[in-house]
Amino acid sequence: MQGGPKIKHLDDVPWEEMLRFRLRDGTIASIWEKWIELSPRYIAFYNKWDPGAMTANHGHHGDHINLILQGEIRCGDIVCREGTHIMLEYGDTFGPWVAGPEGCTLYGFVAGEGASFQGDPKLWQECLDAHGAEMLPVPMPKRMPPWWTAKMRTSTMINWVADETD
């Protein structure tokens, strides 16, 4: 027990760039995430997707919810717009997801240690090809939880590189 609630404002949490893409028209689109709470027992996060940003088919090590706060994300013909709640149980996969023309803002929570695992890599490549997108490298997040480090370094769903300024 912590002895009471942990209260944090989003302004006090730094952004981490999670994914970056060059889209067909040359536009750069990223997914930015704020890890509000990090624990081996759960993760609470807030993220913003630029228009056209995307994620691979994947799941998480723990039950997982997303609540769309603004904009939309799409998976094929499925459109999840503002107010949509997405629930996945441990082991379920979803996506690939693509942000709509206004981008997307969402809140998420994963029970358990929260690291992601890859779904079907063929679906991911088909999504990238269909959108003429290229995944670009981004610096490894600075607040990476130590229990994720080994798992995430070997993931093909991200393209994190050592930050040259460290």
Q: Is residue 2 part of a domain?
A: no
pLDDT (0 to 100) of residue 166 = 47
Based on the structure, what is the number of domains in the chain? 1
Residue range(s) defining the domain that contains residue 80: 10-161
At 83-109, the pLDDT tens digits run 999 999 998 999 999 999 999 999 999
Looking up residue 83, the CATH number of its domain turns out to be 2.60.120.10
In a domain, 85, yes or no: yes
Q: What is the pLDDT of residue 154?
A: 62
- Is residue 91 situated within a structural domain? yes
Q: Is residue 143 part of a domain?
A: yes
pTM for the structure as a whole? 0.90
Residue stretches of the chain with pLDDT short of 50: 166
Q: Is residue 99 part of a domain?
A: yes
User: Can you point out the beta strands (E) in the chain?
Assistant: 16-22, 28-39, 42-49, 54-55, 58-60, 64-75, 78-81, 85-88, 97-111, 116-118, 134-136, 138-139, 160-161
- The answer to whether residue 40 is domain-embedded is yes
Please give the full DSSP string across 10-21, using - where no structure is assigned. GGGS--EEEEEE
Question: SS3 of 149, please?
Answer: helix
